[in-house]
Amino acid sequence: MSWVVISTVLTVIMVPYPVTEAKKCNFPAIFNFGDSNSDTGGLSAAFGQVPTPNGITFFHTPAGRYSDGRLIIDFLGGVFKKLLPKEEYFSKALYTFDIGHNDITAGYNLDMTTEQVKAYIPNVLDQFSNVIRSVYKEGGRSFWIHNVGPIGCLAYMLDRYPVSAAETDNFGCAKPFNEVSQYFNHNLNETIVQLREELPKATIIYVDVYTVKYNLISHAQKYGFDENSVVACCGDGGKYNFNNHARCGATKIVNGEKIVIAKSCKDPSVKIIWDGIHFTEAANEWIFEQIANGEFSDPPISLKSTSLKIACRGNVSSYHY
């Protein structure tokens, strides 16, 4: 699919371990459309494996994920035995979407102003709608869509595009960038409302990941995390432990020996941001626990709810918005 300034990966989640207690809905497969926040190996398969110390917490080796361990989608996923899904799975599967971060940051990478970035967001969402329509046309009926997180709290943005003290909130996040995230999310929500009317047999759930992530960052110590919530765990020093020219796992030759210069912190379990762009396994698990019960979903449907089970069984005609 061709999207404006977007990096989208389609992943069939095949998780070779029990990530959570057995899910009651029993989706035969989960198809994920997303960027590296939810990529379980597509990017690595195409361009080469992510380096150590990625994967150190759970896999103890790089496993295609830009994190020290598992991602939100890993906790959402189930245990599947075969690599390729059966044809009948496509209409019964759960389709998850976690997009938008790259669309926003790509504009800044092209030296666009905030207003210019906001101006192209409707076009991105038009193309997103076309993707949903295409999946629906092929039989997809159950959609779980995450909004964009607070990109103004990521070291990647804070280091590369510094803002004034007046534009920084009490937790170290850049307010202008977070406002763009909120603008994107407002438009995404309106887009989903339109899609529900257009695709009456679909169950489309909007998940407010922004609120969950910002709550975690702004109350880090309350939830058992380091108070320096915007500082990355894995990096090469600096105010945010982030160097765009030496990202997590970067190496250099010293006395003829290759050494890692962008290393992991001692305890990733208390850090929220892994490498300045992505979240740690501990943060991903905490976020999953908040969204799994439906409290931050619209409509407020739990992963184990009757309504989602109805969609899972394909009898979506009895559930409308």
Catalytic machinery residues: 36, 275, 278
Distance CA 316, CA 191 (A): 20
Sign of CA dihedral 249, 12, 198, 291: negative
Indicate the SS3 state at residue 95: strand
Instruction: Measure the N-to-C terminal CA separation of the chain; round to a whole number of Å.
Output: 28
Cβ pair 120, 23 in contact under 8 A = no
Number of other residues whose CB lies within 10 A of the CB of residue 179: 15
- Structure tokens given for 98: 């976690």
For residue 198, CA distances in Å to 33, 136, 186, 224, 321 come to: 21, 11, 19, 43, 11
Length of the chain, in residues: 321
Q: Rounded distance, CA 153 to CA 197, Å? A: 34
Q: What are phi and psi of 18, to 5 degrees?
A: -80, 105
DSSP letters spanning 105-153: HHHHHTT--HHHHHHHHHHHHHHHHHHHHHHHHTT--EEEEE----GGG
> Between vectors from CA 296 to CA 170 and to CA 308, what angle results, nearest 5°?
160
CB within 8 A of 247, min separation 6: which ones? 235, 236, 262, 275, 276
- Burial bucket for residue 16 (CB in 10 Å: 0-12, 13-18, 19+): exposed
Token reading at 316 = 């979506």
Interatomic CA distance for residues 283 and 303, integer angstroms: 19
Residue 145, H or E segment: strand 142-146
